[in-house]
Amino acid sequence: MVRLYGLLFFVDLILIVVALIDCISTEEFAVRNLPKLAWVFIILLFPPIGPIVWFVAGRPQKHRVGRAGDWRPGSGFPEYERPRPLAPDDDPEFLRSQTRGRKEDEELFRKWEADLRKREEELRRKDGDDPPRA
């Protein structure tokens, strides 16, 4: 039993030393999830969980892999075939809709002006026919 505890102590010590060396030698910007100093304290204060957590959650990933796998240059659309949204002033359909809308607005404005003139004429005739009341 003493040998088993000695072996576990030795494995734990090696794990702590390896995790500390790895954490200290890692660049600050590459450390994940916590600052580097916090990882050093976690490794030292919570053996053997701290070093294991460092290797799982703190150590920088060597390969950046998304859900779809590694992205390789040249895969997917070539740059000249990549779909790009058009700016509104370059899109002919948008410009047509704006011209159409402007023409509709001008027509509506002309109708309103004609209706206003007609009502003003009716008011003038009505005011001219009725004698003023005292």
Interval 77-125: pLDDT, tens: 666 666 677 787 788 888 888 877 788 889 999 999 999 999 999 999 9
Record the pTM.
Answer: 0.46
* Residues 53 and 97 occupy one common structural domain: no
* Residues 44 and 92 occupy one common structural domain: no
* Residues 51 and 93 occupy one common structural domain: no
Give the structural domain span for 27.
2-60
Residue 59 banded pLDDT, cuts 50, 70, 90: confident
Q: What is the mean pLDDT of residues 31-36?
A: 90
Tell me, what amino acid is at 44?
A: L
Q: Which of these, 17, 6, 11, lies nearest to 43 by C-alpha position?
A: 17
In-domain check, residue 81: no
Q: How is residue 45 annotated by DSSP? A: H
Tell me, what amino acid is at 66?
A: G
Structural domains in the chain (count) = 2
* Residues 55 and 6 occupy one common structural domain: yes
Mean pLDDT over the full length of the chain = 83
In-domain check, residue 117: yes
